[in-house]
Chain A
Amino acid sequence: MLQFLLHGLTVLLLPPLLPGLIAKTKALMAGRQGPPVLQLYYDLAKLARKQAVFSRTTTWVFLAGPVGGVAAGLVASCLVPFGHTPAPVSFEGDVILFAYLFGLARFLTILSALDTGSSFEGMGAAREATFSALAEPALFLGFAALAKATSSLSLSTMLAFPGSLTARFTGPLILILAGWVIVYLAENSRIPVDDPNTHLELTMIHEVMVLDHSGRPFALVLYGASLKLLVLGTLILTPALPRAPHAWQNWLAFYAALAGLAVAVGVVESSMARFRMTKVPQFLVAGVLATAFAFLLMLV
């Protein structure tokens, strides 16, 4: 029970910390002081009080993106295990529901971008649709390999298998995680796929889709994005974490790993530039290939 409570609180309260950590890491690496780590919390509180502005072109679909993104993200968050603490809800085949909930969030975000009739947001939406079509097979190939290794179809057992302990699965596991890191960076629109900081709308994918959102809808967008950062992050972290005997140790390890992931994303963002748009598909195909090889290794 306590575990579930902690799970819920983590999902509701922790996500906005991750973008803050990433931003702080980037600032420190660039020799700046940077915004406070809790900046996103302040932003959310401010946005929740502000008036929302709607273009006269938009319909109710405009709100479906932010609402759907957060709702689907929250339902999906019930299905993932945080480290070696099992998920509150797990059943046979929750993997697919998990992946398709993110599909739903993406679909609604794209539609709410197109609802404004702006060509910038149209461009962002088109890129999101294009790149995610390449990220999806990588995600599923990884799931297939893990399902093969654990003969299970539930995230709680699939991800929490002690891959690092059995020598046979170490190789494939590294490949899966490498592929998923690529998916992670693409799905969360981070460098090298997308630069969340640029102000030239033309260069962006996710940020450009939400140019017209303001006030509370924008707060939902920001929270939804950070939630995605957390929930997809657990996919990568959980298989890599060693299992500890005590529950509190597992939680501690998970939080530490989460912070480490945020810092790692910050380091990646500071140390490399965004790819040209035409290079992004190649990067994503690399992810597909890594997971495909992982599956082949599982077969042998």
Chain B
Amino acid sequence: MSLCLLALLVAAVSGVPGLFLRRQGGEAAAGLLGLAAVLGLTAALPVLAGGTGGTLLLRTAALGSPGLLALDPLAAFFSIPVLLLSFCGGLYSLGYWEGHRGHTPILRLVYGLLTASLLMLVMASHALTFLLAWEGMALAAFVLVMAEDREPETRRAGWIYLAATHTGTLLLFAAFALLAKVQGHSAFAALPAGLAATRGGTALFALFLLGFGFKTGVLPLHFWLPPAHAAAPSHVSALMSGVLLKMGILGIVRFLSWVPDPPPWWGGTLVALGALSGILGVAFALGQHDLKRLLAYHSIENIGIILLGLGLGTLGKATGHPAMQTLGYAGALLHVVNHSLFKGLLFLSAGSVLRATGTRDLERLGGLGRTMPWTSAAFLAGSWAICGLPPLNGFVSEWLIYLGAFRGLGLPLGLGRQTWPLVILVSLALIGALALACFAKAFGAVFLGLPRTRTVAQAAEAPRTMLLPMGLLALACLAIGAAPALFAPALGRVADSMGGSLGGGEALRALVPLRMLTWAAVILGLLALLLGRWLRLVPQGRDLPTWDCGYAAADARMQYTASSFADGLTRGLRWALRPVAHLPRIAGWFPRLARYESHVPDPVLDRTASPALQLIVRSAGLLRVAQGGALPVYLLYVLLTLLALLVWMVA
């Protein structure tokens, strides 16, 4: 515990040396973040390995028994992505941000503070520390999103983010106040049995779900997410998507772990929200042209998958089926870590594309696989993992959820609830297939084929400080994917802290033959090596044009674009996406140069929230008539109000 606190402090001050050093402030910050990661992991891993690792701290009589901060299995589990990703981001920023863009010392300082508040948040065991850290995280992230505040797009994204996160926080204040009223204290502790079925329990569930939902970006509360992730510097996007969103999940998970007897409809609600976010998230991602916005919509999709797992686990807990509960929760929790690994990897490699080419527009990129082989390999590894393809880590967590859902099919849950496992299965299958299409589109448009502009053709590979963190994350993805049995005991222990009764990681290992995945990975790798070797044994003709049905002068403009690639699917999903196209009018025999443009606006932000807010602002403008600024008129208002009150009192 003290190690973890030390890690928190080190992370918090990681930006301070940079304020005084003229050079190497970034190196100092990255070094301190690395030190924090080492310290934090040394503290967290024993807890995951089954030790108690010092759980209580800062206990005072006034605050109740669990104290302010505690390093329980959940905290240790969630601290891993925090530590790993913040270190990777710090290292990455050396090549990505340092030296050629503004506000560097401030950004470093705030980046360290964000890491510290995230660490504090995962360890918080009292409403006070939780909300303090929550607010610290929200504000630090706001400053980081606004890093390039010269761009109007960035300013807009930042303000939308700030408004959304504070709305969520307001709901959380209400939720924690209600919790304190029910419990009599504000420390995190198990709720009494029977509470969940009451009206108070329902209100708590709704408030927590909404409040944390704003942070996780579950549909339809996701609207702040795509612009903020697109506008933030890439290492910050990686941290936001990989870790910040997960803090909402952490909140939901903590709340669920307090409730001994959740009603089944809670599980159903989570599953429904998960299916909605998952399917629509990936559908909207298919419609994007902006690489980082596309990745942001995929975060919504993955949050959907996590919610599907949480819903399954809750369903199992509610109906008393421990296998379903363990598989659902374990799958969801593993997906939390997995998503932060591969989404961090994807955002970092997208950042290195952005740095090399200066654009995020998929229609202007292309052919980077030749000039940036390492970045391309990193992005491919991330895509591979996020599509849930074996043998990388995305498959393992989805597999656990699938197994839980399949088991749920065979259980006597009652006719109405029987459909939830099926909903999970079908949504996961559909999400998987759509994600595959979307990442084939993204990877193909950015890294394969011919470069579409001259700047892209001259792009150079990222420096080593940027490649190293990407390699680290890719290796982590492979490790979890190829040897999941190693991580099963820790995962089982964390899943058990959700109020299970199965008894540790042994139960999880008995439920799923994780070892078989290792065999599959090994055989797959060996076969691929063998076949690749066999291909190289014959002479090869290189440096020839693409066949292209006999047309030898095909150029970059004739390639299939990302939009055309996704067109079949976006057309099929028109009812949800409502794409807007600006068609050129072609008239006459020699039509003039025309321009075609299409994009998919966000349904909540661009179609609902923005118009609604504009309407409010406009109607507020009507009140300006009464605000003339003349003192006598205001005095008249006071007089009239007093008169009205007098009449009301007499009557």
User: Which residue of chain A is the closest to B395 with respect to CB atoms?
Assistant: A100
Q: How far is the CB of A189 from chain B (nearest CB, A)?
A: 16
Are B569 and A133 touching (Cβ within 8 A)? yes
Given contacts A92-B513, A201-B549, A220-B531, contact A114 B449 (CB under 8 A): yes
Q: How far is the CB of B87 from chain A (nearest CB, A)?
A: 30
- In the complex, what distance in Å separates the CA atom of A136 from the CA atom of B566? 17
Given contacts A55-B545, A114-B448, contact A67 B532 (CB under 8 A): yes
Are A117 and B559 touching (Cβ within 8 A)? yes
Confirm or deny: B415 has a beta carbon within 8 angstroms of a beta carbon on chain A.
yes
Q: Give the contacting residue for A117; candidates B380, B432, B450, B539; CB below 8 A.
A: B450
Given contacts A137-B429, A140-B429, A211-B549, contact A117 B556 (CB under 8 A): yes
User: Chain B interface: which of A19-27, A121-129, A252-260?
Assistant: A121-129
Are B406 and A93 touching (Cβ within 8 A)? yes
Are B433 and A125 touching (Cβ within 8 A)? no
Are A116 and B449 touching (Cβ within 8 A)? yes
B399, B410, B415: which has the most chain A beta carbons within 10 Å? B410
Are B532 and A114 touching (Cβ within 8 A)? no
User: Chain B interface: which of A56-64, A162-170, A238-246?
Assistant: A56-64
- In the complex, what distance in Å separates the CA atom of A211 from the CA atom of B436? 22
Q: How far is the CB of B644 from chain A (nearest CB, A)?
A: 64
What per-residue 1/0 map shows which CB atoms of B568-590 lie under 8 Å from chain A? 11001000000000000000000
User: Which residue of chain A is the closest to B390 with respect to CB atoms?
Assistant: A100
Residues of B contacting A58 with CB < 8 Å?
A: 546
User: Chain A interface: which of B175-183, B515-523, B606-614?
Assistant: B515-523
Interface positions of B from 404 to 452, Cβ below 8 Å from A: 406-407, 409-410, 415, 418, 422, 425-426, 428-430, 432-434, 436-437, 439-441, 443-444, 447-450
Q: Give the contacting residue for A110; candidates B415, B444, B545; CB below 8 A.
A: B444
Interface of A is mostly: helix
Residues of A contacting B537 with CB < 8 Å?
A: 216
Confirm or deny: B184 has a beta carbon within 8 angstroms of a beta carbon on chain A.
no
Given contacts A51-B538, A56-B544, A75-B527, contact A115 B448 (CB under 8 A): yes
What per-residue 1/0 map shows which CB atoms of A67-84 lie under 8 Å from chain B? 110111011000000000
Q: How far is the CB of A144 from chain B (nearest CB, A)?
A: 5
Are A54 and B540 touching (Cβ within 8 A)? yes
Are A118 and B554 touching (Cβ within 8 A)? yes
Are B548 and A119 touching (Cβ within 8 A)? yes
Confirm or deny: B225 has a beta carbon within 8 angstroms of a beta carbon on chain A.
no
User: Chain A interface: which of B108-116, B255-263, B381-389?
Assistant: B381-389
Are B547 and A97 touching (Cβ within 8 A)? no
How many A-B contacts are there with CB distance less than 8 Å? Answer: 248
A53, A57, A295: which has the most chain B beta carbons within 10 Å? A57
Confirm or deny: B367 has a beta carbon within 8 angstroms of a beta carbon on chain A.
yes
B418, B538, B556: which has the most chain A beta carbons within 10 Å? B538
Confirm or deny: B543 has a beta carbon within 8 angstroms of a beta carbon on chain A.
yes
Confirm or deny: A139 has a beta carbon within 8 angstroms of a beta carbon on chain B.
yes
Are B535 and A71 touching (Cβ within 8 A)? no
Confirm or deny: A151 has a beta carbon within 8 angstroms of a beta carbon on chain B.
yes
Given contacts A110-B440, A118-B554, contact A56 B516 (CB under 8 A): no
User: Which residue of chain B is the closest to A72 with respect to CB atoms?
Assistant: B524
Confirm or deny: B85 has a beta carbon within 8 angstroms of a beta carbon on chain A.
no
Are A125 and B512 touching (Cβ within 8 A)? no
- In the complex, what distance in Å separates the CA atom of A141 from the CA atom of B532? 35
- Interface residue tally on B, bucketed by range: 35 or more
- Interface residue tally on A, bucketed by range: 35 or more
Are B449 and A151 touching (Cβ within 8 A)? no
- In the complex, what distance in Å separates the CA atom of A119 from the CA atom of B443? 16
Are A216 and B535 touching (Cβ within 8 A)? yes
Residues of A contacting B560 with CB < 8 Å?
A: 114, 118-119, 121-123, 125-126
A133, A135, A201: which has the most chain B beta carbons within 10 Å? A133
User: Which residue of chain A is the closest to B373 with respect to CB atoms?
Assistant: A59
Interface of B is mostly: helix
User: Which residue of chain A is the closest to B437 with respect to CB atoms?
Assistant: A129
Confirm or deny: B369 has a beta carbon within 8 angstroms of a beta carbon on chain A.
yes
Interface positions of A from 172 to 219, Cβ below 8 Å from B: 201, 211-212, 215-217
Confirm or deny: B162 has a beta carbon within 8 angstroms of a beta carbon on chain A.
no
Are A54 and B429 touching (Cβ within 8 A)? no
What per-residue 1/0 map shows which CB atoms of A277-300 lie under 8 Å from chain B? 000010000000000000100010
What per-residue 1/0 map shows which CB atoms of A126-152 lie under 8 Å from chain B? 110110111111011101100110010
Confirm or deny: B232 has a beta carbon within 8 angstroms of a beta carbon on chain A.
no
Confirm or deny: A111 has a beta carbon within 8 angstroms of a beta carbon on chain B.
yes
Residues of B contacting A148 with CB < 8 Å?
A: 409-410
Confirm or deny: B403 has a beta carbon within 8 angstroms of a beta carbon on chain A.
yes
Are B436 and A107 touching (Cβ within 8 A)? yes
Q: How far is the CB of B115 from chain A (nearest CB, A)?
A: 34
Are B429 and A55 touching (Cβ within 8 A)? no
Residues of A contacting B387 with CB < 8 Å?
A: 103, 107
Are A100 and B432 touching (Cβ within 8 A)? yes
Q: Give the contacting residue for A295; candidates B370, B422, B565; CB below 8 A.
A: B422
Residues of B contacting A75 with CB < 8 Å?
A: 520, 523-524, 527
Q: How far is the CB of B176 from chain A (nearest CB, A)?
A: 39
User: Which residue of chain A is the closest to B533 with respect to CB atoms?
Assistant: A67
Residues of B contacting A51 with CB < 8 Å?
A: 538-541
For the complex of A and B, the 9 pairs showing the least CB-CB separation, nearest first, are A122-B560, A117-B449, A114-B444, A129-B437, A130-B568, A71-B527, A140-B429, A133-B433, A136-B433
Q: What are 28 A-B residue pairs whose CB atoms fall within 8 Å in the complex?
A: A55-B546, A56-B545, A56-B546, A57-B367, A57-B546, A67-B528, A75-B520, A89-B516, A100-B395, A101-B390, A101-B520, A103-B432, A111-B440, A111-B448, A114-B443, A114-B449, A115-B449, A116-B546, A116-B547, A117-B450, A117-B546, A125-B444, A126-B564, A129-B569, A136-B429, A137-B430, A212-B547, A220-B531
Given contacts A55-B546, A153-B403, A153-B407, 4 further A-B contacts (CB under 8 A): A93-B512, A103-B387, A104-B389, A110-B440
